Structure 1
């Protein structure tokens, strides 16, 4: 039976729902719409605008790997505060970050849409700048998304940057410091395991970010987002199943995963692509000091990787009871 939302919903809650709806639209529909508009313009009397943009696009091609193009007015928009209050989402600081230094953060888990990562690092919805004065957050995203006309500019406005070595080097080598470069370590593949009650992280063989930290001497910051996996249900796709095999095959071809998920709707609570109203608490851990090594050995990488896993586990264990995680639940790594 479908559970419909009541008609007498406060205006504030309607605005919260709208804010999250535009977020879902932005990442599920907007890329396709941008492509359609760009191609469509070429076959209208406004084709010249498409050509002008294409010229700009060509000249600006490397910008996502050169720190992007933040637009503070958009990052501080009131819509993000409504999105924050929908769940709600909160950001928790456990240690200070020195604005004279650069940091590399690992964000866990990916979830379906990485809602906590986006709101806390790409907007001021949770008050990042007030918690960490002098620190500029950057969130890495697959290069594929920056190849989409118009959509790439929207992504960069929030502080999103390309996910490649050149992009990381550009941010982490800034001599003035004050940069936090964040990688959602589990990536698209981890999204296939995102479901309520899941605490398995794709981390055991993910060591590229560790090597980057060593090469640039950037302190590592573990971030765990409690509640990220609680927002959607996902069709059963256990490892080895036919559906998981198809999803892995598509991921290898397309570079993105396609989890079959569902949440609630706009006017009813039973099904749809809207996330459930469940709290997300993003906890930023204490920085792990890293000694710079331009050519780190396998042993260097493995040692720091184990240290990172230990600190991430400690962060989870320290805070899990406060955020309604059962005491017998522990992180698992695959």
Structure 2
């Protein structure tokens, strides 16, 4: 394989963009493991008191992730996220006004490999969420497992991430006064196994929990499609029925996380590595679907609303796909 190296004359700002993405990829792939090692390693040094005091704080603070988390605006407004946004670049597109007196569930599609669009748009202010949607506070759901990792849990909460369980979701949606947005990557980790350039298949046909959640809390549903999300990485072929896919799905069921074998470019060359390609992402937020609050909705009611949601998502995709370089003959499919 011929390796294409990056030229030496790259502007410094582009190097900063690459560095910002590098630290983000590391935070997804290795930061949690490093936090665990540091926590236990400190116990065997003269700095053991740090881990002991943190453990005490951790016990007192155990429920905070499930109670809306703990945003740190300085972290959300960090310069690193602006450089990361410009690396791709990422753009947040509003198609309708949202009432800050109401609560919303954003259904985010597709999941992609590392959910880059969801992270930048809803966990940082790099794309200007607060200016585009004034009066709304975003929360992005993430696998509960990661909120059990010392130090790492605080990093996650600083950006507005909360655990992906019903209790955490309901707490946000039941806050009085409205103005809360709960973003759910509906396809989840399983959908990441099909994330590759040109893919428009969504794991949605039997994902109805978020619809029931919306009905139980009277939160409006908003379809969100992130054009370009699947274009960031290539993935080793893993067709249904292959030994690799069987192994990945087995691990996903056991651990709750998927392990897509993805690759793209490197730091100093463009031929291989774990950094995403520089390809634009346009995250388009659709029109809200008004939802009547029902404490115990029937399955038929859930199915009807789910069907309407899929229709609105398809309409959103079809309306905007040509603007964002999707061929006219491409359509969404659901599994």
Q: TM-score, normalised by structure 2?
A: 0.99
**Superposition pairs for residues 173-184 of structure 1, below 5 Å?**
173-184=174-185
Deviations 1:131-174 (A, max 9, x none): 00000000000100101110000000000011111111110001
Structure 2: give runs of 5+ residues left out of the alignment: none
Question: Equivalent residue for 2:121?
Answer: 120
Question: Equivalent residue for 1:285?
Answer: 286
**Deviation of 1:45 (Å):** 1.3
Question: Equivalent residue for 2:301?
Answer: 300
Deviations 1:228-287 (A, max 9, x none): 000000000011111000001111111100000001000000000000000000000000
SS of 1:283's equivalent in the other structure is strand
Alpha-carbon distance between aligned partners in 1 of 2:99 and 2:126, rounded to the nearest angstrom = 22
Q: Which moved more, 1:203-212 or 1:53-62?
A: 53-62
1:209 aligns with 2:210: yes
**Deviation of 1:176 (Å):** 1.2
Deviations 1:190-216 (A, max 9, x none): 000000000000000000000000000
Please provide the CA RMSD for this pair: 0.5
Question: Equivalent residue for 1:102?
Answer: 103
SS of 2:39's equivalent in the other structure is helix
Deviation beyond 4 Å, 4+ runs, structure 1: none
**Superposition pairs for residues 128-277 of structure 1, below 5 Å?**
128-277=129-278
Alpha-carbon distance between aligned partners in 2 of 1:31 and 1:222, rounded to the nearest angstrom = 31
Question: Equivalent residue for 2:37?
Answer: 36
Q: TM-score, normalised by structure 1?
A: 0.99
1:84 aligns with 2:123: no
Alpha-carbon distance between aligned partners in 1 of 2:47 and 2:74, rounded to the nearest angstrom = 29
**Deviation of 1:42 (Å):** 1.0
Alpha-carbon distance between aligned partners in 1 of 2:256 and 2:285, rounded to the nearest angstrom = 28
**Superposition pairs for residues 33-72 of structure 1, below 5 Å?**
33-72=34-73
Alpha-carbon distance between aligned partners in 1 of 2:255 and 2:304, rounded to the nearest angstrom = 33
**Deviation of 1:100 (Å):** 0.7
Alpha-carbon distance between aligned partners in 2 of 1:97 and 1:43, rounded to the nearest angstrom = 52
SS of 2:58's equivalent in the other structure is helix
SS of 1:320's equivalent in the other structure is helix
**Deviation of 1:91 (Å):** 0.3
Alpha-carbon distance between aligned partners in 1 of 2:274 and 2:155, rounded to the nearest angstrom = 22
Alpha-carbon distance between aligned partners in 2 of 1:253 and 1:319, rounded to the nearest angstrom = 38
Structure 1: give runs of 5+ residues left out of the alignment: none
Alpha-carbon distance between aligned partners in 2 of 1:323 and 1:238, rounded to the nearest angstrom = 27
**Deviation of 1:227 (Å):** 0.2
Alpha-carbon distance between aligned partners in 1 of 2:70 and 2:333, rounded to the nearest angstrom = 37
- Would you say how many aligned residue pairs link Structure 1 and Structure 2? 334
1:316 aligns with 2:317: yes
Alpha-carbon distance between aligned partners in 2 of 1:287 and 1:277, rounded to the nearest angstrom = 31
Alpha-carbon distance between aligned partners in 1 of 2:219 and 2:293, rounded to the nearest angstrom = 7
Deviations 1:280-315 (A, max 9, x none): 000000000001100000001000000000000000
Alpha-carbon distance between aligned partners in 2 of 1:87 and 1:273, rounded to the nearest angstrom = 15
**Deviation of 1:218 (Å):** 0.3
